[in-house]
Amino acid sequence: MSTAGQKIDEVEAAVERLVSQSLADLRADFPALDQQVNGHPLAYLDNAATTHKPRQVIEAVANYYERDNSNVHRGVHELSQRATLAFEAAREKVRAFINAASKDEIVFTRGTTEAINLVANAWGGEGVAAGDEILITELEHHSNIVPWQMLAQRSGAVVKVAPINDAGELELEALADLLSPRTRMVALNYVSNTLGSINPVAEVVRLAHDAGALVLVDAAQATPHLAVDVQELGCDFLAFSGHKVYGPTGIGALFGRAELLEAMPPWQGGGDMIEQVSFSGSSYAHPPARFEAGTPNVAGVVGLGAAIDYLECAGIERVATHEHELLNYAEGRLREIPGLRIVGTAAEKTGAHSFVVEGVHPHDIGTVLDSFGVAIRAGHHCTQPLMERLGLVATARASFALYSNHDDVDRLIDALLKLTELFGDG
């Protein structure tokens, strides 16, 4: 059994190895990438849906179950204390990852979807009145549309939608025009999962705050690709998912400004979120515990902490530069394909290219590419209203991660060329 000193040495050595390695070498940390699919080596380009996990994350989760598995915040025994320490250490890692002022501003959730629902219910339940307005954008994922529509149904509030231009960029002036004294919340994504557009979030925050509205940022597609700083953005809430930043599924986080969380009622009741319970009534714990009812996903939290460590060692700036170069390379190569049109040509993009090929349904593109071991996404990407705005039912989407490389892109292009031969003949 290793002593604490040995353990620290091991961790320092692992960090040193990660920091000194090139991104290309880090690919070997991801076991799932090393497999054959339909007789071909896997080229995984569905990273906007979920990323693969490095060994370091898989081992952190396994170690937790093998050594520390226990419930948190409750037990006085050694294992429970270890689990609690690991759980709260991960909260501090999330705080630092998005530069929140305090770790009490970090609530663990199942992911982005649950985080937005939490705000729509807990914040939305208090004083959003008939006629109040929630402003979203045409770029939103269903998880940043439906919770607000449900709130509107309950409260009589109105959901308004800021438009985009044909390139997939937010129309800032139109957004500003839609702000009114009744606007209570502006909810928008930082990066579009479908088009890869990067939204000018800091600018939107400024406009919204001037109008007296709060801002919730859906950062599900930003945290994997950009350095996210909630204090610099000035946002009031921000949500992200662990599984899109190389962590486990079923875990994510909500950032909420301390005074807002403090003023919000709980949205789920149960263990761990109370101060005192009696049959005549209950009082509630301070945030973040107030919003974390029940046994949490401790292994997920530990894995998320390990994923953040991994991403920080890889270096988010280095990842952003690499992915930007790859996105440009992919754009150039996609333009070689006859009949292919890139959907979403915003000046500021990251992470993904959506495209359509004349005469071929996106699902057929996905199926043919899969037969060559190339994994992409085809469909509406949980953005049906955006598809409608673009006059499409679906697109194909190739999306990138820190381990993606030129070979993945070349494999995509080779498979697309075969697809066009196939459909060209038909």
Residue 223 interacts with ligand PLP (CB under 6 A): yes or no = no
At its nearest, how many Å lie between ligand PLP and the CB of residue 223?
10
Q: How far is the C-alpha of 160 from the C-alpha of 143, rounded, in Å?
A: 16
Number of Cα atoms under 13 Å in the Cβ half of residue 45: 33
At its nearest, how many Å lie between ligand PLP and the CB of residue 61?
17
Q: How far is the C-alpha of 17 from the C-alpha of 195, rounded, in Å?
A: 35
C-alpha distances in angstroms, 410 versus 22, 279, 313, 348, 349? Answer: 20, 65, 28, 23, 20
Beta carbons within 8 Å of 95's beta carbon, 6+ residues apart: 102, 103, 105, 106
Per the residue annotation, which of 382, 384, 393, 405 is the catalytic one?
A: 382
SS3 380: coil
Q: How does DSSP classify residue 67?
A: I
Residue 399 interacts with ligand PLP (CB under 6 A): yes or no = no
Return the number of other C-beta atoms located less than 10 Å from residue 129's C-beta. 10
Of 87 and 190, the one with the shorter C-beta distance to ligand PLP is 190
Instruction: Using CB under 6 A, pick the residue from 51, 117, 137, 221 that binds ligand PLP.
Output: 221
At its nearest, how many Å lie between ligand PLP and the CB of residue 346?
15
Residue 241 interacts with ligand PLP (CB under 6 A): yes or no = yes
Instruction: Using CB under 6 A, pick the residue from 70, 84, 183, 193 that binds ligand PLP.
Output: 193
Of 189 and 395, the one with the shorter C-beta distance to ligand PLP is 189
At its nearest, how many Å lie between ligand PLP and the CB of residue 296?
16
Per CB under 6 A, contacts with ligand PLP among 98-157 are: 111-113, 141, 143-144
Residue 184 interacts with ligand PLP (CB under 6 A): yes or no = no
Is 382 catalytic? The answer is: yes
Return the number of other C-beta atoms located less than 10 Å from residue 187's C-beta. 26
Of 122 and 216, the one with the shorter C-beta distance to ligand PLP is 216
At its nearest, how many Å lie between ligand PLP and the CB of residue 220?
4
Q: How far is the C-alpha of 153 from the C-alpha of 208, rounded, in Å?
A: 23
Of 97 and 372, the one with the shorter C-beta distance to ligand PLP is 97
β-bridge partners, 354 = 343, 397
Is 124 within 8 Å of 155 (Cβ atoms)?
A: yes
Of 155 and 193, the one with the shorter C-beta distance to ligand PLP is 193
State both tokens at 63. 């170690």
The C-alpha angle 378, 381, 384, rounded to 5 degrees, equals 115
Residues that bind ligand PLP (CB under 6 A): 111-113, 141, 143-144, 189, 193, 218, 220-221, 241
Q: Which residues are catalytic?
A: 382
